[in-house]
């Protein structure tokens, strides 16, 4: 809004600059104070318009200062709530933690067959046992490995579930973990074996990185929110995902795949994403697919 002046100052020594909201008047008053211009902020009782009263001698200088302020801030006038800016930890992630812990207990004690039947084995996957790309995500080498993934996954997957819902987040991150194993399968020069949900957890990190992409579609001035989110998860990935003692290629593949899934989910219509049908169907697909790949793993062992 362009500042307007009135020819009817309330006092002979003061001029009035009209603003169009209380916030605008307060912003302008700070600008004028920073320029050494004495300013009084008032509300006109009849019209209830906000106005700044300045000495008449400083009136031209005040208008020039406000005009320059508006020019310098022209590109930053977008205001709005970023979808997911109120991210909350979905408590249902605790069920995922308990399920992984229970599966590890079975695989390491009572059902040792689970480890040999479900771990990532590049030779066997190349021979057609593709389900190992998924089943390996649910297995862990030891208790320390499990606790590391549960601790970090509790936060990252919990927030991803809070943003997109339980079913979509679990399905997206499971697929991201499997794609991380695909990257290792393609790029590792030698045969290898591996287990762990770290690719899935890195997928959750990637999902969170682009969760606000929808804002860019709605307003092109919101790019900084998207960029800041991408940079944040990128540094998290560097901090956690590049441990030289871990499967870095699986982490990288999971992270990049998760970012892709996060972008796709964020571009879905909010009405669809929040619908019980969509949430329920993705949860059914997740549970059904996980059951299917494990049945294939046990049948083929």
Per residue in 92-121, pLDDT (tens digit) is 999 999 999 999 999 988 788 899 899 999
Query: Long-range pairs for 237-246 at CB < 8 Å and ≥24 separation?
Result: 237/202, 237/205, 237/206, 240/152, 240/202, 240/205, 241/198, 241/202, 241/205, 246/198
pLDDT tens digits, one per residue of 113-152: 899 899 999 999 999 999 999 999 999 988 998 999 999 9
33 shares a domain with 107: no
CA 66 – CA 83 distance, rounded (Å): 32
Mapped onto helix, strand or coil, the DSSP state of residue 5 is strand
61 shares a domain with 155: no
187 shares a domain with 260: yes
211 shares a domain with 157: yes
Average pLDDT over residues 197-225: 75
20 shares a domain with 123: no
CA 62 – CA 13 distance, rounded (Å): 15
Closest by CA position to 290, among listed 99, 11, 53: 99
Number of domains observed in the structure of the chain: 2
122 shares a domain with 69: no
Q: Where residue 65 sits, what CATH number does that domain have?
A: 3.30.70.1530
Q: What mean pLDDT value characterizes the chain?
A: 84
Check: CB of residue 138 under 8 Å from CB of residue 103. yes
Rounded (5°) CA angle 110-111-116: 145
100 shares a domain with 64: no
pLDDT tens digits, one per residue of 220-231: 556 666 777 778
266 shares a domain with 174: yes
- Check pLDDT > 80 for residue 215: no
Residue 37's domain comprises 4-76
Per-residue pLDDT, 217: 58
Q: Is residue 55 part of a domain?
A: yes
Q: Is residue 84 part of a domain?
A: no
pTM over the 0.75 mark: no
Q: Is residue 35 part of a domain?
A: yes
């Amino acid at each position: 809004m362009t500042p307007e002046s009135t020819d009817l100052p309330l006092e002979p020594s003061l001029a009035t600059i009209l603003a169009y909201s209380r916030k605008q008047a307060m912003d302008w008053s700070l600008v004028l104070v920073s320029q050494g211009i004495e300013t009084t902020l008032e509300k006109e009782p009849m019209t209830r318009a906000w106005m700044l009263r300045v000495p008449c001698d400083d009136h031209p200088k005040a208008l020039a200062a406000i005009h320059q302020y508006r020019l310098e801030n022209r590109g930053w006038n977008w205001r709005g709530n970023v979808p997911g800016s109120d991210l909350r930890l979905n408590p249902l992630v605790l069920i995922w933690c308990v399920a992984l812990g229970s599966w590890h207990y079975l695989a390491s004690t009572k059902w040792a067959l689970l480890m040999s039947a479900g771990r990532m084995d590049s030779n066997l996957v190349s021979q057609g046992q593709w389900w190992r790309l998924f089943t390996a995500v649910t297995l862990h080498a030891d208790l320390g490995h499990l606790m590391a993934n549960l601790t970090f996954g509790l936060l990252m997957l919990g927030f991803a579930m809070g943003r997109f819902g339980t079913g979509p987040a679990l399905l997206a991150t499971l697929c991201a973990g499997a794609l991380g194993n695909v990257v290792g399968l393609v790029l590792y020069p030698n045969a290898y074996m591996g287990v762990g949900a770290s690719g899935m957890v890195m997928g959750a990190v990637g999902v969170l990185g682009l969760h606000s992409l929808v804002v860019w579609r709605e307003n092109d001035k919101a790019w900084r929110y998207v960029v800041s989110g991408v940079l944040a998860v990128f540094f998290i990935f560097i901090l956690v995902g590049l441990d030289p003692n871990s499967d870095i290629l699986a982490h990288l593949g999971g992270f990049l795949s998760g970012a892709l899934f996060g972008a796709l989910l964020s571009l879905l219509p909010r009405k669809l994403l929040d619908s019980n049908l969509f949430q329920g169907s993705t949860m059914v697909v997740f549970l059904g697919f996980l059951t299917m790949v494990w049945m294939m793993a046990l049948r083929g062992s």
